[in-house]
Structures are given as structure tokens and as C-alpha cells.
Amino acid sequence: MKSLPLAIAVFGVAVMVALVAYFGAGAVVGSLLAIGVPGFAAICVIHLGLTAVMGLAWWSLLPGAPPGWVMWARLVRDSGAEALPLSQVGGYVLGGRAVSLGGVSGTRAAASTIVDVTLEFMAQLAYTALGLAWLVRLQPETEVAVPVLIGLGVAVMAAIAFVVAQRRGLNYIDRIARILGEGWVEKTAAGAAALHAALADIYARRGGLWASFCLHLICWIASAIEIWLALHLAGQPLSFGAVLAIESLLYAIRTAAFVVPQAVGVQEGAYILLGAGFGLTPEMSLALSLLKRARDLTIGLPAIGVWQFIESGRVWRRRKAQLQVAAIKMRSRD
């Protein structure tokens, strides 16, 4: 089964390379160079700021947790999802692990991750609806509106079902535990019951839920600033509303293409199709896509490196302590 995501990723990379070759690698590179190193640095800084705000959205669900540590955990989560191949789910695991090192229990870390991802997805639906409305306003004759609206409706129903499952679907855990009796299965059920209790506690804090949702929505809308700035620096400016329409639909397509690791190939094709409707050249659209991937690697790889250093240090200290205890026991026997 692991070979399937790899095969899909390889095919996506081939599509991306083919698109760049077809439209001209020189022209794509020229569009990237027009943005410049200072522009790229500014885009990275903006993205880091948005990541910090998304960390605060997560922190809203974890009262008492250190906000700075939760923001760092959010950076680790995003870095694991974007900078490492075939690891989007692994990013959530890394983020949960990172936030647990800030004094949050593993159960609360897992529960808050589930709720945070749910609220972020719901905010994305609102963002997509806003982008679709703006698209219809700018291009009343567009043929994209109907299929996107249908997909949005399906996604809303899926989100509602997911929330209901989180809040009610685990109420049967206690019954299952009693039926199965003692043993490892009961312990597993007890762990699931603890997760259910943590989820219920988070959902009971309405203020935290609304704060998290609103912060995520603000970040979704503000994320369009990065591409708006890039286009202005490259000499192909678009209005913020036009960029918002492109970006919201792009992320909707990325979400629908979740089986493709990092939406490689899909993102590039979507940018070309969506950008064409607003007068962007294919070369510029490809440059924007590659710019995002370069941004993710520039931020993500160092973050993962720091995370690895922290984890290695913890493992080494724990191992050292174990060796010291073993040495003391041996001396006491002598």
C-alpha cells in the first residue's frame, strides 16, 4: 500500500516537470527572478506570521498551555505535512507530539489536534464560499461556479458529519468496553473513552471554538496577501479580490486531491487553469506554484531539523539517565 502514494507522487512530479518544460523553463525562472530574493523573504516572513496566528487558533482550544510552545508545535505540524514527502498525516502526529512536550497530555494533544483540524477545514469552507462569491462578482459568466458550489455543499455535509461523529459517535465506547471485558481491548476502549472525554471538554468551551474558527478564517483570507505581493513584484498585479478568488479555489482543489502527496502536479495545473481566467500567463502561474513550494521547503526543512535536534537531545538525556541508574545498581550489587 505504501508504494501507491509513492507512485502517485512520482506521477505528480512528472506532470509538474512536463508543464514547466512545455511552457518554457526559462520563462518560469524569469518570472521567479522578477519576484526577487527580498520579495521571497517577505513572503516567507508573512507566512511565518500566519503560522503563528494559526498556532494561536490551536492554543484557543488548550487553555493553560504555553502559547509560544503551541505556535512552535503548529510550525512543526505544517513543516511535517509540507516539507517531508508522503507525510501529511505524519505532520499531525509530529505537531501533537510537539505540543505534548509543552506540558499538554497526549490525550489532550490528540483531541485538540482533531478539533483544530476540523475548525480549520470549516473555516476553509467559508473561505471557499467567499472566494466563489467574489469570482461570480468578477466573472458572472464563469462555468466554474456550479461544480464548485456542488463540491462545497458536499464538503459542508461531510464537515457536519465529522463533528457529529466526534461529539456523539464515541458514546458507545463504554458499552463496548463492558461487552468485551478485561484485557487489552478494554484498555484500548478506555483510551478511546479518554479521547472522547477530552473532545467533549474542548467542544464545551464555545468561546475557544469561536476564537479558533475566526482566527483560522482570518488566516485563510490573509494568506492571499502572499500571492498578491508576488504578482505585484513580478509586474503582473491583480486586485486582492481576484487573488482571493484564485487562492480559495486552488486550496479547494488541493483539498479534493488529498490522495496526491502535497498535491504535486495538481497545484500546478490548477494554477494555470485558474490564473488564465484572470489574465495570468501559464509561466507566471507555474512560478507562483513553485514559489509556494520553495517557501514551504525554506521554512519547513530548518524547522524539522530543529525538531529533530530537540527530540535527539531528549532521547540522549533519557538514555544517559538510564545508563546512570544501571551503573548505580551495579555498584550497589558490588
Q: What is the pLDDT of residues 93-143, one digit of tens each?
A: 888 888 988 888 888 888 899 899 999 999 998 998 888 888 888 777 766
Q: Tell me 228's DSSP state.
A: H
Q: What is the mean pLDDT of residues 15-21?
A: 90
Label residues 50-71 b or e (16+ Cβ within 10 Å = b).
bbbebbbbbbbbbeebeeebbb
The three grid cell numbers given for residue 183, joined into one nine-digit string: 484485557
Q: What is the pLDDT of residues 165-193, one digit of tens each?
A: 666 655 544 444 444 344 434 454 456 77
- Across 106-110, 192-196, 198-202, least confident range: 192-196
Q: What is the pLDDT of residues 54-88, one digit of tens each?
A: 999 999 999 889 999 999 999 999 998 887 766 55
pLDDT value at residue 299: 95
pLDDT value at residue 216: 98
pLDDT at 311 over 70: yes
Distance CA 82, CA 41 (A): 18
pLDDT at 148 over 90: no
pLDDT value at residue 62: 94
pLDDT at 28 over 70: yes
Closest of 17, 11, 79, 47 to residue 286, by C-alpha: 17
pLDDT value at residue 234: 92
**Structural domain containing residue 285:** 3-333
pTM of the model: 0.85
Q: What is the mean pLDDT of residues 228-232?
A: 95
Q: Which residues contact 303 (CB under 8 A, 6 or more apart)?
A: 75, 76, 79, 83
pLDDT value at residue 132: 83
Q: What is the pLDDT of residues 256-275, one digit of tens each?
A: 887 888 888 999 998 998 89
Closest of 16, 11, 2, 12 to residue 268, by C-alpha: 16
Work out how many domains the chain is built from and give that number. 1
Main-chain phi, psi angles of 139, to 5 degrees: -135, 80
Distance CA 115, CA 135 (A): 30
Q: What is the mean pLDDT of residues 146-160?
A: 69
pLDDT value at residue 191: 67
pLDDT value at residue 325: 67
pLDDT value at residue 142: 66
